[in-house]
Structure 1
């Protein structure tokens, strides 16, 4: 996994700079962030999964390189006790991408993509919609995979007792179920929407028992 990720980062960053020390240093920073002990789901495997989705749907992306940068940085800052993770991750991305040599406009687009992962609402930019669907694809996985994901999320919020966590989690699940569509793009709607709704409803039932 780490070979895949480090290679993907090397290829991506090398498009903008030849400074190998900088490329390696920024990768080490990302690797350390995502390998934190409290990262049970929002970790390197999540990043790899999203990057593979980006490969699969590359032909549909207008700026695939910017989408990949957004994937690498969207959860770079993650604390279950905070509500500004996306903002902090976007700030870090903005600074680091300018170091790599991206233009201000390109860095701004990546920031916009990362901030969109806070609410997962439909966006005017199709690249953002695909990024959001890559991020939420686990919701439409098989029940066994979804159950494992939900258990990993619970571990990330282990600080909170069940009565608090369950109440908050139920609110999140209902938020997605109340949407006209959980996914934004045609392929994800067609392939994952039904299973995602089944999974969310089933977890809601478990939390209510």
Structure 2
């Protein structure tokens, strides 16, 4: 589904099949890196499923799709500029297939919004960041798989370094007025997300 959706997306901008396949191969290679345990193709697939549920509410579906594929294309747990690097690569690749500049700029803004997950004035951005965080509101079993996979990605750090940092992130979400900015995702996930976050904190 991910590959087909990406190729279909690019046919709106280029008829260069070689370039389209090259760009998909790059996405696939990055998201299937052995160093990744959570930020994988499965993560993208989950977001796509969540967004498809609210497709009728999305103003620019094609922009959202570009954001989906490129928002975590650069991911290094040792760096704090992954979103910026991902946005830069997204811009470069989108220019290669002649995507209009207004779509590129909005895509970059959406990617950067995943750094803080604060409410945006753009409703599409809020739908995307909510879908990106949808794992927080899954069943405890699925949430447990998520936080364990995140820990694997940060395995270079010992517990005494990782745990305080992780608690800070979890408390950041818990102190928000709303984790999920859109009513759809708020109603669907907010209560369970707060329960899961608190449970993980207690385990750290």
* TM-score normalized by the length of structure 2: 0.99
**How far 1:44 sits from its partner (Å)?**
0.5
Of 37, 40, 43 in structure 2, the residue corresponding to residue 40 of structure 1 is: 37
| Cα shift at 1:96 | 0.3
Tell me how far 1:56 sits from its aligned partner. Answer: 1.4
**Pair 1:123 & 2:120 matched:** yes
- Per the alignment, residue 55 of structure 1 pairs with 52
| Distance apart, 1:32 and its partner CA | 0.4
Aligned-pair CA distance for 1:52: 1.4
Distance in 1 of aligned mates of 2:57 and 2:170: 29
* Contact 1:54 1:64 survives alignment (8 Å): no
How far apart are the structure 2 equivalents of 1:193 and 1:106? 30
- Matched residue, 1:16: 13
Distance 1:122 1:101 in 2: 30
Cα pair 1:122 1:129 within 8 Å, conserved: yes
Aligned residue-pair number: 204
Runs of 4+ in 1 over 3 A off after TM superposition: none
| CA distance in 1 between partners of 2:52 and 2:97 (Å) | 22
Output the CA distance in 2 between the equivalents of 1:17 and 1:53.
27
Hey, what's the Cα distance between the residues in 2 that align with 1:143 and 1:119? 24
**Is it true that 1:176 corresponds to 2:178 in the alignment?**
no
How far is 1:105 from its partner? Answer: 1.4
Q: Residue 139 of structure 2 aligns with which residue?
A: 142
Partner of 1:69: 66
Given candidates 67, 92, 95, the residue that maps to 1:95 is 92
Are the equivalent residues in 2 in contact too, given 1:122–1:184 (CA < 8 A)? yes
Tell me, in whole angstroms, the C-alpha distance in 2 between the residues paired with 1:193 and 1:50. Answer: 16
Listed as ranges, the gaps of 5+ residues in structure 1 are: none
Q: 1: CA distance between counterparts of 2:60 and 2:197?
A: 32
Aligned to 1:166: 163
- Report the CA distance between 1:54 and its aligned residue: 1.9
2 CA distance for matches of 1:48 and 1:18? 25
Give the TM-score taking structure 1 as reference length.
Answer: 0.97
User: How far does residue 16 in structure 1 lie from its aligned partner after superposition?
Assistant: 1.0
Matching of residue 202 in structure 1 with residue 188 in structure 2: no
2:27 alignment counterpart:
30
Deviation, structure 1 residue 176: 0.2
Contact 1:70 1:113 in 2 (8 A): yes
The equivalent position to 2:82 in structure 1, one of 80, 85, 104, is: 85
